[in-house]
Structure 1
Amino acid sequence: MKWKEQASLSIESIESVTPGVTGAADDVAVCVVRCIEGVARLGMVFQYPGSAAGAATPWFLLTAIEWYGKQVEQLDTVHSGKVTLTGAGAETLAKRNVLNSTPRR
């Protein structure tokens, strides 16, 4: 299923970052976020535009959403939840970063 809608997530805190095995697996970051625009859905890809000049822009696949202790499929605007993001470069994420959705890779 494809969604044309956009979503933006503001990172409130980072609970954990698990580095992937070099060349074999992506990093996994568990963060508390607030959805500040649109509806964030499982399977959406998010980019963090704050990378250094000339560096590739890190991207993250939204693989899990927890809302009030339950696994859900989406996170609506103004709601906060715990999300799992998978992708290279998770160590670059920081509190107050805003991740914007992008077409799926």
Structure 2
Amino acid sequence: MLDNVPEKAALSIESIESVTPGVLGAADTVAICVVRCVEGTARLGMVFHHPGSAASPEFSLTAIEWYGRQVEQLDTVHSGRVTLTGAGAETLAKRDVLSSAPRH
């Protein structure tokens, strides 16, 4: 059945607008980036990782802005401004490709 197939998406970072440390006591940092969805459909709440990184930090997709509107998903070939939250967000760089982590 198709319902059992985990969703997969990939985001290519076009630019990084800001990286902000999380609230006091939290390890997560918040990165606001302009990305292009290069595979699948990126949805709010999805978890992404950087497959080329040795530590493979994970980032939660907490906001998507598309043409000035908050939306719940970003489809393939579309670009948008996203908020990624997770430890290690300061390591993100232009041209990095983040892949969605499979849900268990």
After TM superposition, the score normalised by the length of structure 1 is 0.88
Taking every aligned residue pair, what percent have the same amino acid on both sides? 79
Shift of 1:4: 1.5
In structure 2, the partner of 1:20 is: 22
Shift of 1:19: 1.5
Shift of 1:57: 1.2
Shift of 1:103: 2.4
2:62 & 2:7 partners in 1: Cα distance?
18
1:103 & 1:37 partners in 2: Cα distance?
14
The aligned amino acid for 1:91 is E
1:95 & 1:104 partners in 2: Cα distance?
26
Partner SS, residue 96 of structure 1 = coil
After TM superposition, the score normalised by the length of structure 2 is 0.89
1:73 & 1:86 partners in 2: Cα distance?
16
1:91 correspondence with 2:90: yes
Shift of 1:29: 0.2
In structure 2, the partner of 1:74 is: 73
1:72 & 1:95 partners in 2: Cα distance?
23
The aligned amino acid for 2:47 is V
Which structure 2 segments of 5+ residues have no match? none
Which 4+ runs in 1 deviate beyond 3 A? none
CA contact (8 A) 2:12 2:36 kept: yes
In structure 2, the partner of 1:62 is: 61
State the number of aligned residues: 101
2:59 & 2:52 partners in 1: Cα distance?
13
Shift of 1:49: 1.8
The aligned amino acid for 2:77 is V
Name the structure where strand makes up a greater proportion of residues: 2
1:20 & 1:46 partners in 2: Cα distance?
18
1:34 correspondence with 2:36: yes
